[in-house]
Amino acid sequence: MSQFTPGEKHTEEKKTLTLFQPTTKSVFWTMIRTEAIQHRFNHTPPWMYPIRNWLFKKLVAEIDGKPFFIAGPIRFQQGNHTHVGRNFYGGPNLVILDHGGVYIGDNAMLGPNVTLASHAHPKLADQRVVRPFPDTFEPYGRGEIEVIAPITIGNNVWIASNVVVCPGVTIGDNAIIGAGSVVTHDIPANTLAYGVPCKPVREITEADRLPEEAFAGIPRYD
């Protein structure tokens, strides 16, 4: 099991306004490292998956054991604020903006074009607009500011295609997020949710179980 307990660990952080400045030297060099690793990942052929998996382990803060599969290409902001549980599936074009922290439980399935965005920006233009980065490391006001909040995804969560998860959201265990959703609020465990904004539609129940006979003849992996 993942060491992360969705919805509990970060409750206090979510209540607090937290700002992050990405235009510092240390963040810059971390992001250069991130760029280098993910460039190599994205240019390593899929059949060389042991190398891709090795690179992915270097990229994220932690990924708990194996197996895991990342279709690629991937795009991370830093990677070292992303924590992933066991048996992770990441679909094509996975984007994780992790300055606010991203915590993914076990057995997560993320479909194509999923974006996990753990930061936003100030709403007032005079607090948001900065000079192009990177042009200089000389002091120039405050630099870019991000408003960050962690994203927490429980165990056994399926996030379908083209979903955006916004900062501070917790998605409970076994939940399903339908295709095209924009998740702005927490989604309870065992819930089917979709839409823009994403709303819980109904509980997932035994009535959703596919008939066992439909699995006859389907090969099992050992």
Ligand X SMILES: CC(C)(COP(=O)(O)OP(=O)(O)OC[C@H]1O[C@@H](n2cnc3c(N)ncnc32)[C@H](O)[C@@H]1OP(=O)(O)O)[C@@H](O)C(=O)NCCC(=O)NCCS
Active site residues: 121
Q: Among residues 122 and 178, whose Cβ is nearest to ligand X?
A: 178
Binds ligand X (CB under 6 A): choice among 60, 164, 176, 187: 176
**CB-side exposure of 66: number of CA atoms within 13 Å?**
7
Task: List, edge to edge, every strand of the sheet that includes 170-171.
Answer: 62-63, 82-84, 102-104, 151-153, 170-171
Distance CA 193, CA 176 (A): 6
CB 163 within 8 A of CB 183: yes
CB of 105 to ligand X, least distance (A): 17
CB of 92 to ligand X, least distance (A): 10
- The partner residues of 200 in beta bridges, in order of sequence, read 193
C-beta of 101 vs 194, nearer to ligand X? 194
Exactly one of 73, 92, 122, 178 binds ligand X (CB under 6 A); that residue is 178
Nearest to 101 by CA among 162, 194, 12: 12
Applying CB under 6 A, which of residues 5, 195, 200, 204 lies at the interface with ligand X? 195
* CB-nearest residue to ligand X: 111
Sites of contact with ligand X (CB under 6 A): 111, 160-161, 176, 178-180, 192, 194-195
